[in-house]
Structure 1
Amino acid sequence: METRRKRMKMEAEEGLALSVTDIVEEQLEEVVLEEPKKKKMAKSKHNVSPTGLLMVSNLKQQRKLDEQKIQLLEEKIQYLEEANKELKRDKDFLLSQIHVGAVKASPSAASTSGSSKPLVISSFSSSSPSSSLSLSEEEEKKMKKKKKKKKTKSSPSRSRMTTIDGVIRRYQAVLKHFTKLGSMKRAFSKVHVDRNTIARTAVIAELAIVAPQKFQELLSRHEDTETISTFAEKCLATISPELGEEISKEKKKGKLLPIAYKYT
């Protein structure tokens, strides 16, 4: 009996050892089969088609263009907000002037009591009927004089610059007032010039300030018969997207006037 038990025990141990070796061999085969698959997958990750690279570069360029458009729109919004504030201030000022004029035009007898009002009016109308007319005529004369003064003050805004140096000096004068006052409209009125006139020639001053070397190259080829507007178009054509970004940054810093337009 003991020999039989020993024999059965040995057979069981041999069978267990065989099953363990079979399992180990199967696992080794699976590892060997999976390794080349991983290598193939790693190789496929590094292989990028040329069309994919082209699409990525196109997307980057489109992103830069979109960023430039966003910057221009932000500058336009900023200018419109400033213009809106100026219009509100002008509106409040005009309303206050109208109110002051109405108070001045009201009769001085408003401070008297209600019972004495008809007596004052009757005596005024009976004694001096022409005095009210003379007062109104004097007021009209004063208003006409004020209008004439305003016209004489606004007359320098019609002057035109015929030299490039004059255009740059006028731009710098407006910029100086803008940094002090913080308002484009008030800066233009200080120099007696409108916004459109500055906007048409602003690119000349911007190029002279940000890229003086390029400006000097263009200026050396400038002819006396060439108009200021033609020279401004040439300046705009020489501004690259990179230089346009630099100009936009200077505008945000307040070193240039926030006049928005498209750069080539």
Structure 2
Amino acid sequence: MPRFNLDFRFPVQNPEDVVHRYRAVLKEFRRTRSMSLSCEALNVDRNTIALTAIIAKIFIGAEGEDFGQLPVFIEGETVGNYAKTCKAFLEGNQLLRKKKKKKKNNSELLPMKYKF
């Protein structure tokens, strides 16, 4: 039985939805210490989180700091294609990569790799 009254069964439409879902899974992960249990509790597919995690990691990592112009989400673009754009952006931004790694080591991000 889900711990939260959230319904993540429907596809996300934009990066804000991705970040919202990611934060919900992160909050549940801190409680359960298991990705599988966290995703199951929120009724989210683990592979979906893995495919879109890069978007959330960039937005969370860039909060409060200036890392240049973040990739722009174009209306009508798929979230999967936007994730690939974000991955290319992250690979080209050394400072953001270091901050993401630091946050991941401090358990401020989910411990998962990207799947493309």
Three-state SS of the structure 2 residue aligned to 1:218 is coil
Question: Match for 2:101 among 231, 248, 255?
Answer: 248
Conserved? CA contact 1:203–1:232, under 8 Å: yes
Q: How far apart are residue 158 of structure 1 and its match?
A: 4.5
Conserved? CA contact 1:208–1:215, under 8 Å: no
User: Which residues in structure 2 correspond to 1:4-43 (within 5 Å)?
Assistant: none
Is it true that 1:228 corresponds to 2:79 in the alignment? Answer: yes
Residue 88 of structure 2 is matched in structure 1 by 237
The residue type paired with residue 233 of structure 1 is K
Three-state SS of the structure 2 residue aligned to 1:193 is coil
Change (3 A) 1:231 1:215: farther
Conserved? CA contact 1:157–1:194, under 8 Å: no
Three-state SS of the structure 2 residue aligned to 1:226 is coil
Q: Which runs of 5+ in 1 are unaligned?
A: 1-149, 151-155
State the alpha-carbon separation in 2 of the partners of residues 233 and 217 from structure 1.
13
Q: Which runs of 5+ in 2 are unaligned?
A: 2-6
- Deviations for 1:12-70, whole angstroms, at most 9, x for unmatched residues? xxxxxxxxxxxxxxxxxxxxxxxxxxxxxxxxxxxxxxxxxxxxxxxxxxxxxxxxxxx
Change (3 A) 1:192 1:186: same
Conserved? CA contact 1:171–1:198, under 8 Å: yes
Residue 204 of structure 1 is matched in structure 2 by 55
Q: How far apart are residue 215 of structure 1 and its match?
A: 8.1
Q: How far apart are residue 216 of structure 1 and its match?
A: 6.1
Q: How high is the TM-score relative to the length of structure 2?
A: 0.77
The residue type paired with residue 258 of structure 1 is P
Conserved? CA contact 1:161–1:167, under 8 Å: yes
Residue 39 of structure 1 is matched in structure 2 by none
Q: How high is the TM-score relative to the length of structure 1?
A: 0.36
Q: When you count helix as a share of all residues, which structure comes out higher? A: 1
State the alpha-carbon separation in 2 of the partners of residues 233 and 214 from structure 1.
18
State the alpha-carbon separation in 2 of the partners of residues 231 and 215 from structure 1.
17
- Deviations for 1:212-236, whole angstroms, at most 9, x for unmatched residues? 44486323xx221211111111111
Quick check: which has more Rg, 1 or 2? Answer: 1
The residue type paired with residue 178 of structure 1 is F
Q: How far apart are residue 242 of structure 1 and its match?
A: 4.3
Question: Match for 1:177 among 24, 28, 36?
Answer: 28
Change (3 A) 1:179 1:163: same
RMSD, matched Cα: 2.4
- Deviations for 1:102-129, whole angstroms, at most 9, x for unmatched residues? xxxxxxxxxxxxxxxxxxxxxxxxxxxx
Change (3 A) 1:214 1:225: farther
Is it true that 1:189 corresponds to 2:40 in the alignment? Answer: yes
The residue type paired with residue 211 of structure 1 is A
Count of residue pairs brought into register by the alignment: 106
Q: How far apart are residue 248 of structure 1 and its match?
A: 2.1
User: RCO higher in 1 or 2 (8 Å CA, sep ≥ 6)?
Assistant: 2
The residue type paired with residue 243 of structure 1 is L
